[in-house]
Chain A
Amino acid sequence: MSGATRTSPSSAAQHSVDASRASGEIRLSVEQVSYAYSPNPSQAPLFTLEASSFQARAGEIVAVLGPNASGKSTLLKLIAGALEPLSGRVLLDGFVTHTLSPRMRAQRIAMVQQESPLLFPSRAWEFVLQGRHPYGRSLRFETERDVAIARNALAQVGAEHLSDRWMDQISGGEKQRVILARALAQQPLLLLLDEPTLHLDIGAQVDLLETLRRLSAENRYTVVVVTHELNLAAEYSDQVVLLQRGKSLRVGSPAAVYQRELLEQVFQTPLSVELGSSGRPRVSVLTGT
Chain B
Amino acid sequence: MRPLTLWRLLVRCGILAVILFVVVIVALKFGAVPVSLYGLGRDLVSVLLRQTNAISSDYGMIISDIRLPRIILAIFVGASLSVAGTSFQALLRNPLADPYVLGVSSGAALGAVLALIAEPHLAIPPVFAALFTPLGAFLGAAATITAVYFLGRREGQIDSGTLLLAGIISASFLSAIIMFLMTTLTGRDLHGMTFWLMGDLSISLQQNLRWVLGIGFVVATGAIYTTAADLNLLLAGEKEAMHLGVDVPRVRLVVYIAASILTGLAVSVSGVIGYVGLLVPHVMRLIFGSDHRILIPTAAFGGAIALVIADTLARTVVAPNELPVGAMTALAGAPLFIYLLRRRLA
Q: List the interface of chain A (C-beta within 8 A of B).
A: 80, 82, 101-107, 109-111, 113, 116, 118-122, 125-126, 129-131, 133-134, 136, 138-142, 146-147, 150-151, 163-164, 186
- B243–A133 touching, CB < 8 Å: no
User: What is the distance, in angstroms, from B328's C-beta to the closest C-beta of chain A?
Assistant: 28
Contact residues in B for A186 (Cβ distance below 8 Å): 244
State in angstroms the CA–CA spacing of A134 and B245 once bound together. 5
Name which of A105, A119, A136, A140 has the most chain B CB atoms within 10 A of its CB. Answer: A119
User: Is there a chain A Cβ closer than 8 Å to B24's Cβ?
Assistant: no
- Given contact pairs A116-B236, A147-B1, A82 touches B243 in the complex (Cβ within 8 A): yes
Chain B residues whose C-beta falls within 8 Å of the C-beta of A118 in the assembled complex: 235-236
Among the 9-residue stretches B26-34, B48-56, B173-181, B224-232, the one with 4 or more Cβ atoms under 8 Å from chain A is B224-232
- Contacting residue for B293 out of A101, A122, A141, A151, CB 8 A: A141
Assess whether B290 is in contact with A121, with CB atoms less than 8 Å apart.
Answer: yes
Given contacts A119-B235, A120-B285, contact A138 B244 (CB under 8 A): no
8 A Cβ contacts from B211-254 to A: 225-230, 232-233, 235-237, 239-240, 242-248
Smallest CB gap from B248: residue in A: A102
A147 to B1 Cα, complex, angstroms: 8
The answer, among B226, B237, B245, for a CB contact under 8 Å with A133, is B245
Interface centre among B4, B232, B245 (most CB of A within 10 A): B245
Using an 8 Å CB-CB cutoff, how does the interface string of B1-17 with A read, 1 for contact, 0 for none? Answer: 11111100000000000
A139 B228 Cβ-Cβ under 8 A? yes
Known: A106-B244, A136-B229. A147 touches B3 (CB 8 A): yes
B322 — which chain A residues lie within 8 A by C-beta? Answer: none
- Which residues in B have their C-beta under 8 angstroms from that of A104? 245
Beyond A133-B229, A140-B229, A163-B1, whether A116 also contacts B244 by CB under 8 A is: no
3 nearest CB pairs, A to B: A106-B245, A134-B245, A120-B290
The 15 listed contacts between A and B (C-beta, < 8 Å) are A105-B243, A106-B244, A113-B239, A116-B236, A118-B236, A119-B94, A119-B236, A120-B290, A126-B291, A133-B245, A134-B245, A138-B226, A138-B230, A142-B3, A150-B1
Whether A102 and B3, one on each chain, are in contact in the complex, defined by CB atoms closer than 8 angstroms, is: no
For the complex, what is the distance from the CA of A281 to the CA of B285, rounded to whole Å?
Answer: 52
* Contact partners of A82 in chain B: CB under 8 A: 239, 242-243
A130 and B227 contact, CB distance less than 8 A: no
Whether the Cβ atoms of B233 and A119 lie closer than 8 Å is no
Residues of B within 8 A of A150 (CB): 1
- Please give me the residue from chain A that is nearest to B95 by CB atom: A119
Does B307 count as interface, using CB distance less than 8 angstroms?
A: no
Shortest distance from the beta carbon of A122 to any chain B beta carbon, whole Å: 6
What is the bound-complex CA distance between A104 and B232, given in angstroms?
19
Residue B93 lies at the interface, judged by CB distance under 8 Å to chain A: yes
* Inter-subunit contact A110/B243 (CB<8 Å): yes
- Say yes or no: is B113 at the interface (Cβ < 8 Å to chain A): no
Instruction: Let me know if A133 and B246 touch, CB within 8 A.
Output: yes
Are B1's CB and A125's CB within 8 A? yes
Q: For the complex, is B269 an interface residue (Cβ under 8 Å from A)?
A: no
- Residues of chain B contacted by A140 (CB below 8 angstroms): 229
